[in-house]
Structure 1
Amino acid sequence: MNLALDKDKLLRFQSLIALFLLCVGLSILSDKFLSVSNLWNVMRQISVNICISTGMTLIVLTAGIDLSVGSVLALCGAITAGLLKSGIEIPSDNLYIGFTVLGASLAGILTGSALGALNGWTITKFKVPPFVATLAMLTVARGFTMLWTKGFPISGLGDTFLYLGTGWFLGVPVPVWISVLIVLLAVFITTKTRLGKYIYAIGGNESASRLSGIQVNKVKIIVYTIGGALAAVGGLLVTSRLDSAQPNAGVSYELDSIAAVVIGGTSLSGGRGSVLGTVQGALIIGVLNNGLVLLNVSPFWQQVVKGLVILLAVIIDKANSKND
């Protein structure tokens, strides 16, 4: 009995234990790791992944996946930057529509929401596996990003927009505040609302959920819409921080997102996990990335290490599922 309780406690806190050990090891290997400036830099970088991973968590809880978040991030950031920089011109009517920071940002978020909704609709309407549907969207969104930007960065977006990614509020970077608000909202949805209960129910047993009267297709579309919107928020933060919308932005971000979700204890089979666990996973990925850079590890080896960490997390998830 005691062994079972100890095992449950260990599984519950395994992400925090791994994060603590990782921080201890990096602080020993690099004297720059625990500096205040570096820690804030890590938090600012992690904020983007937390935004994306929060949406990914909701999707994975329904036993789905979204491989398009990196490309959606790039497209939404590019659309926001383009509207902010050049607006919309209609020469035939001698018309020019300018955009404020708020208007351009909302346009980017609405674009992400629409793409996410399209993912959800494709998956539910045509019974396309989430892996295939979102892989197709990955390619489509990346192509539209190239068409929109013509392959060139869109820069010089103004100080007001820059504040989103580089500003400070009450001594804390603005991106951190944004990610905290998103996490709190997601925690509320998953723990206190009917939608949250439906998400877990669908991931646990979709057939039983249908028989109990849950509108499974509607819930899935909502979840993918939220995932697209949060990917767009990540795109705004990345574009603001760089003061530039890069055509190749967001490449491999979906891997970091999935890694954060799995490392945080959310099962790829759906129905088990939490947003707060994903935050822990994002912290581990962010600290690991930062530590490898501080230790001057080759970017190629960084990819190898990250891939092995993801593989290990999936193996642990499968082992835990068998023991349940």
Structure 2
Amino acid sequence: MGNVTETKVQGQGSLKMNAQLGRWRKSPVFYPLIGFIVIFVVMALVNDNFLTANNLSNVARQVSIIAIIAVGMTCAILTGGIDLSVGPVMALSGTLTAGLMIAGFPVELAVLAGLLVGALFGAGNGLFVAYAKMPPIIVTLATMGIARGLALIYTGGYPISGLPEGFAFLGRGEIFGLQLPILVMLVVYILAFILLNKTPIGRYIYAIGGNEEAARLSGVRVSRYKLLVYTLSGLTAALAGIVLTSRLMSGQPNAGVGFELDAIAAVVLGGTAIAGGRGAIVGTLISAMMLGVLNNGLNLMGVLPYVQNVIKGGIILLAIYISRSRDK
């Protein structure tokens, strides 16, 4: 009798464990986390320099730029849209911030102006997408060229250097031993997590991506929240551009080339459905770290950049395939 009872208890425990594992596997974070762990372990095994404190710190600092951009990109893709202009917008915001400081503006005012320009560019994208009903990919492709062109016009095609030393703290400083770009990244993700998971705005963003017409019929002001999403995307791009400018102590008009693709890769690999409506901001952060670890490990191994692009492209295709298969 005792053996029968014990067997039943073990069976119930096994069923609960299997059910919990099944729920965990359905989470958007599951595959990104597994991928990150696998790539991290592989890179640690194949290169002795990978696990050094200095190298891991460099990885986190380098990842912070793409990760910040990917926050706004996640919000855009969750609504079923996309923002291809983030790379040029970060370049424009960074060069404008640098130029204002050279012109004698206080650091704080120059930074605010750079953030404002990014937010305004994002709002412009949102107006065309939400109110003019234009396809996001076309709108942001056009503003991608506009932002890059303005950055080159503003700088004459040359970097802006000679920035005040106090500005370097944002990109190179530390607080309690934690590099400031990493701290900024973590704060942005905490705020994004709260927005998407603890507020009505987050629920509306998911609802719009899941079924825009149903959301509209439910009373959600779809256009207003799309405008908000693209404004946030422009703002996070501007913040990333300013952090990068501070780290380099130079406003680079060609900064951010290809960053939109890296941000999209982080979002898709992070489990956000490319059609919108499903995803998790935590998955985006994990995938951004995974891509950073992959890039760093391949560099340490001496793999050519062109080969790295092939490898990353293959990983992205695999992630999309897994995502589509899971949706079915």
TM category, shorter: over 0.9
- For 1:9, the equivalent position in structure 2 comes to 24
Which residue is 2:79 aligned to?
Answer: 62
Deviation at 1:124, TM superposition (A): 1.6
Q: 1:6 Cα shift?
A: 4.0
Partner of 1:318: 324
The structural deviation recorded for 1:9 is: 2.6
Aligned equivalent of 1:19:
36
Which range is displaced more, 2-11 or 298-307?
2-11
- 1:72 corresponds to which letter in structure 2? V
- One-letter identity of the residue aligned with 1:250: G
The amino acid across from 1:38 in the alignment is N
TM-fit CA distance, 1:3: 6.8
Q: 1:245 aligns to what SS in structure 2? A: coil
Q: Residues 146-194 of structure 1: CA distance to partner in whole angstroms, max 9, x if unpaired?
A: 1011000001212211111111110000001111111111111111111
Cross-structure match for 1:106: 112
- Deviation, structure 1 residue 69: 0.4
Instruction: Note the C-alpha offset of 1:301.
Output: 1.1
2:167 corresponds to 1:161: yes
Q: Determine if contact 2:33/2:283 at 8 Å carries over to the other structure.
A: no
C-alpha distance in 2, partners of 1:156/1:320? 51
1:234 and 2:275 aligned: no
2:311 pairs with 1:296: no
What corresponds to 1:95 in structure 2? none
Within the alignment, does 1:129 sit opposite 2:135 as a pair?
Answer: yes
Amino acid at match of 1:197: R
Correspondence 1:25-174 to 2 at 5 A:
25-86=42-103, 98-174=104-180
Distance 1:11 1:78 in 2: 43
Unaligned runs of 5+ in 1: 87-97
Alignment partner, residue 10 of structure 2: none
Amino acid in the other structure paired with 2:48: D
CA distance in 2, matches of 1:147, 1:256: 26
Q: Which has the larger radius of gyration?
A: 2
CA displacement at 1:30 relative to structure 2: 0.8
Q: Counterpart amino acid of 1:129?
A: P
Give the drift of 1:304: 1.4
Residue of 186, 189, 193 corresponding to 1:183: 189
After superposition, what is the alpha-carbon deviation per residue over 1:246-293, rounded to whole angstroms, capped at 9, x for unaligned? 121000100110011011101111110111111011111111111111
CA distance in 1, matches of 2:167, 2:159: 16
Counterpart of 2:247, as a letter, is: R
Q: Which moved more, 1:293-302 or 1:11-20?
A: 11-20
> How far apart are residue 8 of structure 1 and its match?
4.1
Poorly superposed stretches of 4+, deviation over 3 Å: 1-8
Match of 2:282 among 276, 282, 304: 276
* Aligned residue identity for 2:281: V
Whole-angstrom CA distance in 2 between matches of 1:309 and 1:15: 11
Q: Secondary structure at the match of 2:311?
A: helix
The aligned amino acid for 1:10 is: R
- The residue number in structure 1 matching 2:8 is none
Counterpart AA for 1:214 = V
- CA–CA distance in structure 2, aligned partners of residues 162 and 6 of structure 1: 46
State the 1:223 CA deviation.
Answer: 0.6
Identity of aligned residues (%): 48
Question: In the TM superposition, what is the alpha-carbon distance from 1:106 to its structure 2 partner?
Answer: 0.5
Structure 2: unaligned runs, 5 residues or longer: 1-14
Question: How much is the aligned-residue C-alpha RMSD, in angstroms?
Answer: 1.3
Q: Which TM-score applies when normalising by structure 2?
A: 0.92
- After superposition, the Cα gap between the structure-2 partners of 1:116 and 1:6, relative to the gap in structure 1 and judged at 3 Å, is same
Q: Distance in 2 between matches of 1:309 and 1:77?
A: 31
TM-score (normalizing by structure 1): 0.93
| TM superposition shift of 1:4 | 7.1
Amino acid at match of 1:235: G
Count of residues in correspondence between the two structures: 311
Q: Secondary structure at the match of 2:275?
A: coil
